[in-house]
A and B are shown apart, each in its own frame.
Chain A
């Protein structure tokens, strides 16, 4: 499934690999606008007036209509992410549906003062995508969905980490600095692998690296993030991280 979708990636390489951390352009914001004039009656005016955060607050009072308005506003954006990660329109469609249901279930702990509703939606979407992709991969690796063994259940279920928005806020506070501490190559590799949904092989082809090199950057980046986030506060953690950074630099020099 993923290999079949990989063919689309090579059409315009330059478009896929710009500077990593440049701010989002206004054109990207347009994605979040309502896709077309499909809204019924007064819903257009209503959706324009009500902010995302207001709609989430309404959702906290079990106002299902607010969910519809959010759906009209962000379904296309969520779908684009889901399709990019899952590379299957049918799976992506199901997942969009799931994302908005999850929005309904998890909205209780949303605090507008801690972050934007749109950010949370994107965080939730990616989290769902990674979760579901792993599940699909595991199922694929064990025989195309016929495997209902306990091992598969455990493997995927323990990996379900779609938490409350407050939890994302806590993680975000640590991760932004941690991500910036990575080398440029690691940042680029992680961005392409996780957020753009490319395989190691595709990234290697686009960047002109070896397969192993790309994998190395991704894995070293993850391990580095893990150390910064989890080992912070442990005695000797900083030393280990510094040592890790030096090792990486030496490796890059070679």
Chain B
């Protein structure tokens, strides 16, 4: 509690009668001006006067000692009670015929006083309760109606009764006058508090309506969510079904494709096998072709050889059968008077052909690789006017040791012009003019010596 308000102990001292008289004045003065402290005090008072008694039956009083008898007789007490309603002691039959109870002066006055206290208590305490127990709206409302309304009505119409036992008529009038003022003030306060409570109730109603609206909205949202969820579920099922069908379809197609593939594999294997066989056959055929080609080559070579041999035979037969044949052999002689190794043999059929043989032409010093033996026909003393007859061609007679160079020349016009033939060694192959030294010169202007 804030410092400007009273401490809790002061209230409770006040309510339990423990507060000293001098402090009580201060408290009452403070209560006049402080609404909060007044409410606090009323709450405590309500708690002690109603709250604790409300649980009296639940409190264990087993140790309580009850007096064995009342200090007065039960009958007397009952008569006194009836007297409060019927004006005196009556027996049972009298009591039943006295329906309207009218109490004695003391009891009636006390009752009236208690009524007065009750209404004011309701007006104050009931309001404090209603203002405080805000959570229990219904309870507050009922208390409000029960207490405030009743209290206000009674306050308006009631004259304040005198104090029960000791008040004199003069006291009563004073008290009544003062109470009127107090009542008016309280009435004003109560009216304001009532308005505050009404406003609070309205706010609470509005809050309840708002919360209800929220609940309704939440409910709708939940329903919408459920609906969309349901829809999504259905769509998902449909999709699942569709996918399942597609999967089955694909599985079937896959099976078909696999069957086709398997079939094709078999075909491919068959074809591969056939290809392998064909390859083998082709290889065999190629082998055969090579063999045949080789045979053909061999036969061609044989044929060429035979044709050459046949040509040689023909030359030989023509030479052997020729009429104006001039046959001559020539040697070169060295400075020492001895024959050199190279030699020639010439067969000239007049006006027809010249066959020129050279033997051991390579057996002379100063020969280089690439040198050619070239035959020339002499037309006069000038060596440079000699006619080129062509290079001598090497051919083997029996083996590599017995070598012979041959030149055959069949142009009659050239044969008419020349009177001798000779050979030069041309170091750089066949040339247009003779560059080497002439050797093995053989004269042709002789009479035929055969037959």
Contacts and interface: CB of A to CB of B under 8 A. Distances in A.
A138 B15 CA distance: 10
Interface in A82-96: 83-84, 89, 93, 96
Interface residues of A, number: 108
A207 to B, nearest CB: 14
Given A138-B17, A158-B121, A97 B55 contact: no
Contacts of A204: none
Given A175-B51, A233-B133, A150 B178 contact: yes
A163 B66 contact: no
Contacts of A102: 114
Contact of B163 (A31, A153, A233): A153
A175 B55 contact: yes
A241 interface: no
A119 B60 CA distance: 13
A80 interface: yes
A50 interface: no
B72 A24 contact: no
B8 A76 contact: no
Contact of A126 (B56, B66, B86, B107): B56
B196 interface: no
Contacts of A151: 28
B150 to A, nearest CB: 10
Interface string A59-76: 000101101100110011
Interface in B67-97: 67, 69-75, 77-78, 80-82, 84-86, 91-92, 95-96
Interface residues of B, number: 89
B171 interface: yes
A22 interface: yes
Contacts of B117: 156-160
B111 A105 contact: yes
Contacts of A5: none
A179 B55 contact: yes
A159 B121 contact: yes
Interface of B: 8-9, 12, 15-18, 21, 24, 28, 42-67, 69-75, 77-78, 80-82, 84-86, 91-92, 95-96, 98-99, 101, 103, 107, 110-111, 114, 116-118, 120-122, 124-125, 129, 132-136, 139, 143, 146, 163, 165-167, 171, 175, 178-179, 182
15 contacts: A21-B58, A35-B70, A64-B86, A75-B77, A101-B103, A119-B57, A153-B163, A158-B45, A172-B55, A176-B55, A195-B52, A222-B12, A222-B48, A226-B43, A232-B133
